[in-house]
Amino acid sequence: MLFAIAYLASGRARWLGLETGDVRVQLLFAAVGVPLMFAAATTVQLWLARRRGALLVPANAGDAWFQAGFYAVNGPIEEAFFRGLMQGGLALLWGTPVAFVIATAAYVLYHKLGRWTWADTLATALVGIPLGLGFWLLPGPPSLIGVSLAHIAATCGFLGPGPYLLKKLHLI
């Protein structure tokens, strides 16, 4: 709702990231970022699970797919808020570098609200930093396409499908 209000009040501002940007670059970012983020997030989750001695794993493949569907909705919403609204909006006020730092810190700390451990919360910086840089530095108008797809993959690697895969491969 807040994003929609900002979009309409700003006269459909480009900084919110609803442009397609350079579609080829966005899709290339996603093509590289999706498998990389999934693998990296799954690897970090494996390390953290071994460190903490516990991991929540979906009950079955259907549950893993159900969770993936939720993350496919949640990822773009988080990117619209943290990249589009926060990073894009704050860049107008204080410049892009400051906006990047504030939006990325807010993204990381937001996960602590879910009562995540500090190690799990800080691990989200491994997603927040590259996606914030991608939103900022990719050529063309800012776009949520590439960063949203990479975000979905990272979340699927860290929660739900990634842990399910770790369990199926007998790595945990």
**Residue 37 domain boundaries:** 2-168
Total number of domains constituting the chain: 1
3-class SS string, the chain: CHHHHHHHHCCCCHHHCECCCCHHHHHHHHHHHHHHHHHHHHHHHHHHHHHHCCCCCCCCHHHHHHHHHHHHHHHHHHHHHHHHHHHHHHHHHHCHHHHHHHHHHHHHHHHHHHCCCHHHHHHCHHHHHHHHHHHHHCCCCCECHHHHHHHHHHHHHHCCHHHHHHHHCCCC
Percent of the chain with pLDDT over 70: 91
Percent of the chain with pLDDT over 90: 79
Residue 8: what pLDDT?
63
